[in-house]
A and B are shown apart, each in its own frame.
Chain A
């Protein structure tokens, strides 16, 4: 090999064009999809054992699903022109498909959540309060209807599947970025989304519900499963790249392997997956807040690394671009703002629909009427 050294003296640094808003969008929409999937057994398939976990999962799906499109809109540099998506047919663009899928999913999610919460609206409507009339209006004169819940559940499941498909594929088709252009990426997005959603269920179980131990145990087991899938896909990704078994994965690995920062990130990612996995398996009760927080962090970090990290790999220039998180709307403010919106939605929804006290069976214990 010839002894050649190249120093890039002048070149352009291309700034990231998909901003932290995009990270927030992919994070929140992924968690929302995961929340929907976790809510289905308890609601759409009416397994009472899963009902309590399902309710927290529904909160995850709803809060994240409503905040996500706001983050996505903010990632457009011309957000006021969003309607331009809807006056053309652009089937070659996965982003265009996304603009069709998102409203379908969010509408389905709202309808599904309403069918699931309808019995709670009905119960709240029976309480002697000035707001009772509003709850009765929200219940539309009915209560729990398992067939309706199931129909809405299947519709939102279709929407969730389409969201998972489009979000993963939209990024994976970008051939110009080897780190993104792997068939595994959509699967990795889905697995980390499931882990993040389960993590958020564990966190909300403690902070926004009654900290049920059965829910914690089940959610920690589910989390271990999701993290296991994350590690499986991650391991296969690495093996395919490391042993040059598949071209796109080898290119993806090669695009970042030379960087010390990327190696540290990889170790961090493995630790943020393996540690909660071990804890969740070894001690599934009493650790939910910890495993949950790490899992949420892990899901977010994965997206941050893919999107922001991925854009610091120059396509033609040498080395890597530097990235410093701006404090304003293009950076920290976007992240904090989205998190604030999510928190507001959580507070608003849990204020309107407080966690039912199911742990203590009483004379008003709600059972399906028919």
Chain B
């Protein structure tokens, strides 16, 4: 369970520039990157088989990053699946994919959102005008407008923690060890090995974004937009929560 944490520290210390097992980003995208250590390429592997849907990551992220009420940088989408008369629960942790070719960046009209040399996609909320073009461009619904800062907001892989040698809060708190974080440029890191050996899937590969959040045990039915009955639960502040739930049961 601690394997991911231990490995992270090793990977961070070694700072090994390993042979990249992943296809490189377009030259112009790399050129536009700023800040961060180019010796690393941070990424995450989510083993959905280990996720118990406790939402500890969701809460840890909110507490760590002061995410406003009713907003989420990460959440565990939870589905009840009935197949041939048998029901089960399917959990899918979602977050920013810190794509190698992120569609949110070229659309930004002010340069407020950018990718660091270590692959982490961030927003400078002192520059962002809150136009929300990036929110539209993200194929994963990973971005939102933070109504406290009135700017675009998203998962940063807890960049402030990573720079201090710590794991992202969601990884640190994951009770099932489902979230594994590490350096994809380090061939000996757990994430690199998992990507190499387990052939994990990514969400919406047809979008060509080259996500750097990988999933082990990802059912193809959940790889894109899920074809199912929409969510039963929604934040209480939503004015039509009751009406909607009523409609769903009707």
Do A93 and B108 have beta carbons less than 8 Å apart? yes
Select A314's contact among B130, B221, B225, beta carbons within 8 Å.
Answer: B225
Do A315 and B141 have beta carbons less than 8 Å apart? yes
- Closest Cβ of chain B to A167, distance in Å, is 13
Enumerate chain A residues within 8 angstroms of B108, measured Cβ to Cβ.
90, 93
Select B79's contact among A9, A84, A98, A255, beta carbons within 8 Å.
Answer: A9
Hey, what's the 0/1 contact readout for A155-195 against B, CB within 8 Å counting as 1? 00000000000000010011111001000000000000000
Q: Is the C-beta of A128 less than 8 angstroms from some C-beta in chain B?
A: no
Do A316 and B203 have beta carbons less than 8 Å apart? yes
Do A17 and B136 have beta carbons less than 8 Å apart? yes
Do A78 and B150 have beta carbons less than 8 Å apart? yes
Select B77's contact among A99, A174, A317, A324, beta carbons within 8 Å.
Answer: A317
Do A6 and B227 have beta carbons less than 8 Å apart? yes
Q: Is the C-beta of A129 less than 8 angstroms from some C-beta in chain B?
A: no
- Residues of B contacting A: mostly: loop
Do B231 and A8 have beta carbons less than 8 Å apart? yes
- Of chain A, the residue at the smallest CB distance from B82 is A5
Binds A, one of B1-9, B12-20, B37-45, B233-241: B233-241
Hey, what's the 0/1 contact readout for B70-113 against A, CB within 8 Å counting as 1? 00100111111111100001100010000000010011111110
Q: Is the C-beta of A13 less than 8 angstroms from some C-beta in chain B?
A: yes
Q: Is the C-beta of A12 less than 8 angstroms from some C-beta in chain B?
A: yes
A79 to B80, CA, bound (A): 42
- Considering the complex, which residues of chain B in the window 215-243 have a beta carbon less than 8 Å from any beta carbon of chain A? 221, 224-235, 238-240
- Of chain B, the residue at the smallest CB distance from A8 is B231
A170 to B134, CA, bound (A): 12
Select A17's contact among B55, B135, B226, beta carbons within 8 Å.
Answer: B135
- Residues of A contacting B: mostly: loop
Do A6 and B107 have beta carbons less than 8 Å apart? no
A27 to B247, CA, bound (A): 33
- Closest Cβ of chain B to A11, distance in Å, is 5
Q: Is the C-beta of A18 less than 8 angstroms from some C-beta in chain B?
A: yes
Do A4 and B81 have beta carbons less than 8 Å apart? yes
Select A320's contact among B55, B79, B89, B230, beta carbons within 8 Å.
Answer: B230
Hey, what's the 0/1 contact readout for A293-329 against B, CB within 8 Å counting as 1? 0000000000000000001001111111110100000
A-B CB contact pairs (8 Å), 15 listed: A6-B90, A7-B82, A8-B77, A10-B77, A10-B78, A13-B231, A76-B131, A81-B128, A84-B112, A85-B110, A92-B107, A96-B110, A176-B137, A315-B140, A319-B229
